């Protein structure tokens, strides 16, 4: 939930740390800081606010050195403030620490350390780590051992970077349940929460595993397990390039990522069909007829936008495969003692692969004997590593906090998984498969088409809706689910109160909220339900609502009841959600832009939620 970066080499560490932190701001942006090893001391600069504030601070109060650590924070323990910003340091300023995660037993450790005479200055859990390392270091004069012993005492999650004045040529890193990689350069090495932070320097990295440590020098990296045994690791080479982590002329990452969707969808489709196009190939996942016949239910678990992609999967799997599918948000699933066993296929969906709730849900599912299929974007992430099978969503970096292209990739994954399971279990015939495949092949150009046409329309009418205080998304079936995603996007970046409702449910309560000029977004792309939803739109219209409809081309009678209509190109019923969501994304984006909000870094949020 925070971003960490570290550098050891011959350059001045500060610019490397600052540019790294800037690329990691999607992980948190309420305070930032760096610690740099100067002659015989550690120079620490930290401040509330975004990395730009830190940059300005450093202009007035520079520090320099060839080894340093940096941090951009999303507050958990203690409000965003200068004092709570990382790095935190030992009382004698000899040890500095940056941390991403939560130390669950910090109060107990703090009490213990206070009794030993340590003074605390911040409200954070991280400060205990700095003091504990110092305490163990004073016992044995061995920094690695001191960090290792500290980790043995810590309960919770951590990615750590540690600097010590007695070790002017190295930094130490460690991780458990929070991501951390060790970037490998020539005569310089790095640590980072995520590869964009160091892509300017290297694409090669060791992906640290849980409870592993690294001692990083400019010309050498050694990895250890928690017991202190040296371990080997293969170098992982990231395939993404620097441009992928830049805006490339777009005003915001979100807009860039929206426009990347035709390519993302194309990439996902082109790699997942057999050469003759008659079957699906899912990255070698072993979910064939035999395994699938052994499964009597599917459980889909995820958070936020990934959960909505999962709900689309649920609707499709139940309708096409006729298998019972449950879907839960991970934070509920993990504490409800879910009814799963070895006959359950649990599908966890996550862009980052690091979401704490989803990861815990995965572990729970495995402990109950279920087979876990991870649908993940970030290669080598915790969820990808711990799932029995992984289908990567090939969306590339997603930097904007509001997920767009990753959602589309997850939805395509739901299409592919549904078709695969349906085919293996004989629930779809060749003709229907071919028909759907043909429709899927058109999706990239259809998304392009929407992007070209809808953008002008949406920009044209955003002013009309910008004053809205409450927005309702209504639809039936798949349209209801896609409305959930549209509504979340509007909340996240435009800070507008918005709620999704099953259109048929309105009259059971929510319609009482409709008054003159309430904005209702009606998603009506499911032709079989068109007349039903149209009637519900009439009902809200009759009570004064303004209606913006998203419908499929050819259903122009929606214009009788809607104030504005955005059409998506004609497609197979199971594929409409992907297309209907594109105007929803643009609508949220241009509403947020009109309202002057910080689109890529919405308040209170962070991209990757690695805490509970």
403 is a contact residue toward ligand M6R (CB under 6 A): yes
- Is residue 322 classed exposed, middle or buried when 0-12, 13-18 and 19+ CB atoms within 10 A define those classes? exposed
Does residue 303 interact with ligand M6R by CB under 6 A? yes
**Residue among 551, 507, 512 nearest 531 (CA):** 551
Q: Is 222 a catalytic residue?
A: no
- Report the residue number, 224 or 299, with the smaller CB distance to ligand M6R: 299
Continuous segment of H or E residues that includes residue 593: helix 576-595
Toward ligand M6R, which CB reaches closer, 163 or 416? 416
Q: Does 331 bind ligand M6R (CB under 6 A)?
A: no
Q: Does 490 bind ligand M6R (CB under 6 A)?
A: no
Is residue 352 part of the contact set for ligand M6R (CB under 6 A)?
A: yes
Residue 395 interacts with ligand M6R (CB under 6 A): yes or no: no
Q: For the CB of residue 303, give the shortest distance to ligand M6R in the complex, in Å.
A: 4
Per rule CB under 6 A, is residue 213 in the interface with ligand M6R?
no
State in angstroms the smallest separation of the CB of 587 from ligand M6R: 14
Q: What is the C-alpha to C-alpha distance for residues 492 and 587, in angstroms, rounded to an integer?
A: 13
CA distance 152 to 69: 23
Residue 468, interface with ligand M6R (CB under 6 A)? Answer: no
Distance CA 96, CA 226 (A): 20
Regarding 128 and contact with ligand M6R (CB under 6 A), the answer is no
Tell me which of 375, 608, 610, 611 binds ligand M6R, using CB under 6 A.
608
**Secondary structure percentages of the chain, helix, strand, coil, to 5:** 40, 25, 35
Measured from the CB atom, is 571 or 608 closer to ligand M6R? 608
Task: Give the nearest distance from C-beta 585 to ligand M6R in angstroms.
Answer: 10
Considering only CA atoms, which of 498, 568, 606, 593 is closest in space to residue 252?
Answer: 593
* Listed ranges 142-150, 175-183, 248-256, 297-305: which one lies at the site for ligand M6R (CB under 6 A): 297-305
- Listing DSSP states for 434-498 in one string gives HHHHHHHHHHHHHHHHHHHHHHHHHHHHHHHHTT-SEEEEEESTHHHHHHHHHHHHHHHHH--EE
Interface residue with ligand M6R among 8, 419, 548, 609 (CB under 6 A) is 609
Q: 3-state class of 268 per DSSP?
A: helix
The residue whose Cβ lies closest to ligand M6R is: 304
Q: Which is nearer to ligand M6R, 541 or 607 (CB)?
A: 607
Burial (0-12, 13-18, 19+ Cβ within 10 Å), 175 = buried
Contact 108, 203 (CB under 8 A): no
**In the Cβ-directed half-sphere of 142, how many Cα atoms lie within 13 Å?**
6
**Interaction of residue 401 with ligand M6R, rule CB under 6 A:** yes
Q: Which is nearer to ligand M6R, 349 or 552 (CB)?
A: 349
Considering only the stretches 114-122, 147-155, 345-353, 525-533, report the one whose residues sit in contact with ligand M6R under the rule CB under 6 A. Answer: 345-353
The contact mask relative to ligand M6R for 29-68 (x = CB under 6 A, - = no) is ----------------------------------------
Closest alpha carbon to 292 in 365, 373, 352, 228: 373
Q: Which is nearer to ligand M6R, 424 or 492 (CB)?
A: 492
Q: Which stretch binds ligand M6R (CB under 6 A): 346-354, 364-372, 472-480, 539-547?
A: 346-354
Active site residue 239: no
Phi/psi at 10 (5° precision) = -110, -15
Count CB-CB contacts under 10 A for residue 464.
13
Q: Is 304 in the site for ligand M6R (CB under 6 A)?
A: yes
Q: Which of 72, 350, 446, 533 binds ligand M6R (CB under 6 A)?
A: 350
| Residue 351 sits in the site that holds ligand M6R (CB under 6 A) | yes
Contact call for residue 409 and ligand M6R (CB under 6 A):
no
CA distance linking residue 511 with residue 505, whole number of Å: 9
Minimum CB distance to ligand M6R, residue 359 (Å):
9
How far apart are CB 304 and ligand M6R at their closest, in Å?
2
The answer to whether 178 contacts ligand M6R (rule: CB under 6 A) is no
Structural tokens at position 168: 């002017």
Sequence-distant (6+) residues with CB within 8 A of 276 are none
Torsion, Cα of 7, 13, 19, 22 (10° steps) = 70
Catalytic residue positions, numbered: 2, 607
Residues in touch with ligand M6R (CB under 6 A) = 303-306, 350-352, 355, 358, 401-403, 492, 608-609
């Amino acid at each position: 939930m925070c971003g960490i970066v570290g550098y050891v080499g011959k350059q001045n560490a500060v610019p490397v740390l600052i540019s790294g932190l800037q690329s990691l701001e999607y992980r948190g942006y309420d305070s930032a800081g760096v610690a740099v090893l100067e002659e015989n001391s550690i120079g620490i600069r930290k401040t509330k606010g975004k990395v730009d504030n830190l940059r300005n601070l450093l202009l007035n109060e520079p520090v320099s050195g060839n080894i340093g650590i940096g941090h951009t924070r999303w507050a958990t323990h203690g409000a965003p403030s200068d004092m709570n910003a990382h790095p935190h340091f030992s009382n004698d300023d000899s040890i500095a620490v940056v941390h991403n995660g939560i130390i669950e037993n910090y109060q107990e450790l703090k009490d213990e350390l206070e009794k030993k005479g340590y003074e605390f200055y911040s409200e954070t859990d991280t400060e205990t780590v700095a003091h504990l390392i110092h305490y163990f270091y004073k016992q044995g004069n061995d920094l690695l051992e001191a960090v290792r012993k500290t980790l043995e005492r810590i309960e919770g999650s951590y990615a750590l970077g540690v600097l010590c004045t007695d070790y002017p040529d190295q930094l130490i890193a460690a991780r458990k349940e929070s991501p951390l990689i060790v970037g490998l350069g020539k005569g310089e090495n790095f640590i980072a929460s995520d590869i964009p932070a160091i892509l300017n320097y290297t694409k090669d990295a060791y992906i640290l595993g849980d409870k592993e440590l690294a001692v990083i020098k400019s010309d050498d990296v050694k990895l250890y397990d928690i017991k202190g045994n040296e371990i080997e690791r293969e170098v992982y080479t990231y395939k993404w390039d620097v441009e992928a982590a830049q805006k490339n002329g777009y005003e915001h990452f979100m807009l860039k990522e929206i426009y990347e969707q035709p390519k993302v969808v194309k990439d996902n489709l082109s790699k997942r069909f057999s050469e003759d196009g008659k079957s699906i190939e899912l990255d070698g996942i072993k979910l064939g007829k035999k395994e699938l016949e052994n499964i009597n239910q599917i459980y889909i678990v995820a958070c936020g936008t990934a959960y909505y992609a999962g709900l689309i999967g649920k609707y499709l799997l139940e309708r096409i495969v006729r298998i019972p599918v449950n879907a839960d948000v991970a934070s509920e699933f993990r504490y409800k003692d879910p009814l799963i066993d070895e006959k359950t296929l649990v599908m966890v969906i996550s862009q980052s692969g690091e979401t704490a709730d989803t990861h815990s849900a995965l572990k729970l599912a495995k402990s109950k004997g279920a087979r876990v299929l991870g649908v993940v974007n970030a290669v080598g992430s915790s969820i990808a590593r711990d799932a029995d099978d992984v289908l990567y969503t090939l969306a590339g970096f997603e930097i904007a906090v509001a997920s767009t292209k990753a959602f589309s990739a997850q939805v395509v994954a739901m299409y592919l998984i549904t078709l695969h399971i349906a085919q293996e279990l004989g629930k779809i015939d060749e003709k229907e498969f071919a028909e759907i495949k043909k429709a899927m092949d058109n999706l990239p150009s259809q998304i392009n088409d929407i992007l070209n046409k809808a953008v002008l329309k949406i920009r044209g009418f955003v002013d009309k809706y910008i004053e809205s205080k409450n927005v309702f998304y209504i639809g039936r079936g798949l349209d209801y689910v896609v409305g959930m995603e549209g509504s979340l996007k509007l909340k996240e970046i435009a800070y507008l109160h918005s709620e999704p409702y099953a259109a048929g449910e309105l009259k059971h309560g929510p319609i009482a909220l409709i008054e003159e000029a309430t904005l209702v977004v009606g998603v009506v792309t499911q032709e079989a339900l068109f007349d039903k939803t149209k009637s519900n739109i009439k009902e809200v219209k009759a009570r004064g609502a303004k209606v913006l409809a998203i419908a499929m081309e050819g259903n122009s009678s929606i214009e009788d009841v809607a104030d504005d209509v955005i059409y998506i190109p004609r497609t197979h019923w199971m594929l409409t959600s992907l297309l209907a969501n594109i105007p929803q994304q643009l609508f949220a984006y241009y509403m947020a832009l009109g309202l002057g909000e910080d689109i890529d870094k919405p308040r209170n949020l962070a991209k990757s939620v690695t805490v509970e």
